[in-house]
Structure 1
Amino acid sequence: MNRCKVIIHVGPGKCGSFSLQKIFLDASRSRHLGYIKVAPNTIKAMESNSLETGEVDELFDAIKKLVNSFPLVIISHEFFFQNLNAIVKLATNVKQFARSVTVVGFCRPQSAFLASAYSQWIFRDKTRLIEIDDILRKACFNPILFSGVERYYIAAVLTGFDSARQRSGRNILDWYKHYSQLAIMLKPLNIKVKVEQLLSGGTNVTLAKNFCRLSDLNADYFTKYATSLNVINPAYNEHLVEVIANGNRLGLDMIPNEHYNDRLLSFSNLQNIAPCFNSKVLDKLKLYVSWYFEDSNTRLADEFQFDFNFPEGKYINGSVFAKDKECELNLILKFLRSEQELRLIDIESILLYHQQISSLLLKAVI
């Protein structure tokens, strides 16, 4: 058997995957490790056990060549987290010719994950935005009185987080459910699943070191071989995100979903417009999300032996929140209806804000 160590990085998205993959690729150019970023269609084929196995066979052949050439091989894609059967199929194959196989993944507080998912993906998704508006209207909330990200959170709360599913249709927000199920599936293969929380405000150096710790690598492994530790995701201007989302939800062709439009969205030196919406609403919604998933996250941290940092604090014991989810849902909805009444009184300011950010988009494209 080969002496190569194989690490399967399973994501999920919005949990440092983009930065890690840049680091993996950079380090692989030094010829100290082998690296493959698996195509989503290949992952789908493995997940569905498709009879058209050409691309899967090609992947396995490519991995075997790397295993025979390097002491370390990293296989990565954030889409793996949504396709547990594909992970098992890949691990089963790789285990036949590698010295060891480890599955590594990250997580983050769902309250932060939702904000990141909206500002990177959802605000461009016309179909999802229209669905979110419909959810709010059915619950007697006027969408125009809330920001795009607020609408996203409110719809998630109203639907038990179904509307916060991935664009693939899968809902991955319960980290414990997914990681514990994966651990059970891999147990017959004697392959361990290791999990760490993506730290808020952490640098890529910290992220790389956490990956090394989970993977039993020297803490400075990527510091030696990778020069891309300063790579970061583009930061989108919040007002551009808002106006593009508004256009998409009204059925306009504002910005396609492809990442080649990131140049427009990353404009940051734009007119400074003061935020229109009360930040306490989003804070309250994030607090609810943190509370909703607290038990699951606590179990995740206990099972995979790491400390879960709750950014809004830990509330399950002696908190202002009710112990019953239905009761707490009624409380958060009562708060939102009260806020809606206040905003309705000041609707002129909200309309003015939307006019201002629309002009901001024109400045970005002219």
Structure 2
Amino acid sequence: MTRLTLRRGHDRRVRGGHPWIFSNEIETVDGPGEAGSAVEVVAADGQRLGTGYYNPRSLIAARLLTRRAESIDTPAFFLTALQQAMAYRRAACGDLDTLRLVHGEGDGLPGLVVDRYGDVLSVQLLTAGMDARREAITAALRELLAPRAIVARNDTAMRELEGLPRQVELLHGEAPGPVTAAINGIAFSVDVTGGQKTGLFLDQRENCRRLGGLVRGGEVLDLFSYAGAWSLHAAAYGAAGVTGVDVSAAAVAQAAANARLNGLDPRCRFVAADVFDFLREHRGRRYHTVVLDSPAFIKSRKHLEEGKKGYLTVNRRALELVAPGGCLVTCSCSHHLDRATFLTLIAQAAQQARRSVKLVEMRGQAADHPVLPACPETDYLKCFILYVE
């Protein structure tokens, strides 16, 4: 096995539990060191730190999968890791058949995502190391869950950073059509081969449920509505009317279909429009609750300042549309934007909109997207509920 020796003084983060090793932290590579190959990682003093995989093309040159001396190239390794991930979810989430089964670093399997939609699994092999172990991963998933189909949504831009092609692949079974999945008792039609990410965003499940005490009898505006998760929850929880806005006509059509699937279409309407344009054009309109589930405006640290301006602008305009005594539910999934900075941006947006706000609650991602305390990058989702005067 190839051995990576870290530079002196560059092992503190890894010893603390973080699984990443950057290319500038490596002193020597003893062995072939091919993309995706297994590596033993040692500190400058020779102490073993763990086993992972290596990619010389990536800024994150190695990712650790275990701190023990064991092979990471067998179905047995992944079977054990998957069993641990499922045990955590049974304890934290209960018995759900629509959820994230593997959340990368949060489950000790960096580069691997597995979402479950009943008997269909949608996976992402995001790194060369996980892509090289697709057969072992597929075998472990089949043994543990006996799924009808396993679809690999390997069409994300992250794979290009690893020198991998972007593509959608069938790893097991027959290509499924739309799959019906339930979130908080609401049915969604999921396109596991063509929808965003793995087909549906599951990380807001618990936050959507929080709408139950906020929206009854009021008008709700859902911005960046995608498949209508927030909209349908608002309607199901008693909102008088819901308007969802998304720039994607396909997403709007999907959201409308999901509303019909649940018999909620009489109180839901969906508009295909740029959210910034919609907010400008509807100044003066008032909603009891505005949900702002923005996409990641900050894809990398170099885009931090530009992205902060985007969050400031969209939150200011959203606040202008909240009726006095109403609520703004605003989110950010950019891990480069920490909670304190996001809260500061909200305060600035409120000042610019000339609105007084009170923070009701700070929330994060659903429990099936676990946060690894030693890896702050896993704590990415911010969801703030604000009372607006």
Shared fold (TM-score, shorter chain, > 0.5): no
Per the shorter chain, which TM-score range? under 0.3
TM-score (norm 2): 0.25
TM-score (norm 1): 0.26
Report which structure shows greater RCO (CA 8 Å, sep ≥6).
1
